Amino acid sequence: MKILYSICILCIASPALYGVSNNRGSFYFELTYGEGLSYPNAKPYKYDPNAMNKENSYNNLDNSIGNYVWNTGTNDDKMASLYSFEHSPKPKIAGQNYSFLFEYVFRNGIGIGANVNSADFQGSNLTFSRDLVMLGVIAFDDIYGNGNLTQSELKNIQVLSPYYTYHQNDLLKMRTYGLNVAYHFLENSLFDPYIRFGLAYGNETTGNAKVIQSTASIGTRYIFGQNFYILMELSGNNYDGYSKATGKLGQYFGSKEGYAWTLMEYSGKIGAGIRL
C-alpha cells in the first residue's frame, strides 16, 4: 500500500516539478522483467522428450492406454488405464523473462531498436511416458527384485503411471537477440504509450535448438525526473524451435535442422529505464 501511495504521489508531483515531457527525438535504454500469464496450446512432451504425450488421440494409444495393458490386459484394464490418462493432473508451464532494450524514437513517433532477451520455462505435472515407466520398473525389478513383479502388478503400475508426476525446472531456456519497431502515440506527455513488434533469433540451451522469436506488445512508459522512467507492458511471444533430426531419420536427411516445436506465451512486464 505504501508503494502504491508513493507511485501516486510521484505521478501527481512530476508534472509540476518537471513540466510536460517530449518523448520523441530521444534514445531509450531499459531493463524489463516479465512473467508468463498464459501458454495456449503448449505441448510439454515436445520440449522434454521424456514427458508423456497427454493428447487423447487414436495415434497415442501407447500413452492413453499403454502397450503393456493393450497387449495383456482385459477390457476393464484398458478402460481403467484410459480413465487414469484422462483424469490425471494436466501439465502446466510457468516462465520468466528478462530483456535489455535500446531504442531511438524519431520525431514522427516511429521507434527503432535492438534487444537482448532471456527466457526460462518450468514444467509441472509432467509424467514420464508409459513405456519409459515400464522399462524403468522392469529394469529395477530385474536388478533389485529378482523379477518378482507379477503380470497383474505390472499392469497396475502402467494403469496408474499418468499419476506419477514430476517437476522440470529447466524445461526450456531461451537466449535471443533481436530487432524491433514501435510506434509511440503521444509526443508531449509524461505518459508514452506504444505498440511494438519484434523479431529475434537465438538458441534454446537445454536441447540445443535454434529459436526464432516473434513478439507483439502494447505498453506505456511513465517519465519522471528529467530522464528516468518506469514501464508496464503486455506482450505475446511466439517461439519456434528448430533442431537436427536424430537416429535413422537424421541419417536419412543428413542431420539437417527442421521444425521441432512451438511455444506461445502471453506475459506481463514491468521495467525501468533512462532517456537520453
In the predicted model, is pLDDT for residue 224 greater than 50? Answer: yes
123-132, 133-142, 220-229: segment of lowest average pLDDT: 133-142
Distance between CA 181 and CA 83 in Å, rounded? 49
Tell me the one-letter amino acid at 89: P
pLDDT digits 0-9 by tens, 15-56: 444 445 688 899 999 999 999 999 999 999 999 989 999 887
Q: 113 and 210: one domain?
A: yes
Q: Is 194 domain-assigned?
A: yes
Specify the residue for cell string 524489463.
Answer: 32
Q: Is 184 domain-assigned?
A: yes
φ, ψ dihedrals at 262, nearest 5°? -135, 140
In the predicted model, is pLDDT for residue 215 greater than 90? Answer: yes
Helix extents (H) in the chain: 2-18, 44-47, 61, 67-72, 75-87, 130-144, 151-160, 247-252
Is residue 98 within 8 Å of residue 117, measured between CB atoms? yes
- Four-point Cα dihedral 176, 180, 184, 190, nearest 10: 30
In the predicted model, is pLDDT for residue 190 greater than 60? Answer: yes
Please tell me what DSSP assigns to residue 20.
Answer: P
Q: Which residue has the higher pLDDT, 4 or 164?
A: 164
Q: Which of 65, 66, 63, 89 is nearest to 79 (CA)?
A: 65
Distance between CA 212 and CA 51 in Å, rounded? 23
CATH number of the domain at 226, please. 2.40.160.20
Q: Is 159 domain-assigned?
A: yes
In the predicted model, is pLDDT for residue 199 greater than 90? Answer: yes
Q: Is 12 domain-assigned?
A: no
Distance between CA 265 and CA 220 in Å, rounded? 20
Contacts for 126 with CB less than 8 Å, ≥ 6 apart: 44, 48, 51, 52, 91, 165, 166, 167, 168
Domain that holds residue 85: 55-89+129-163
Q: 108 and 231: one domain?
A: yes
pLDDT reported for residue 255: 58
Please tell me what DSSP assigns to residue 21.
Answer: P
Q: 78 and 32: one domain?
A: no
Share of the chain above pLDDT 90, in %: 72
Structural element, H or E, at residue 265: strand 257-275
pLDDT digits 0-9 by tens, 66-84: 999 999 999 999 999 999 9
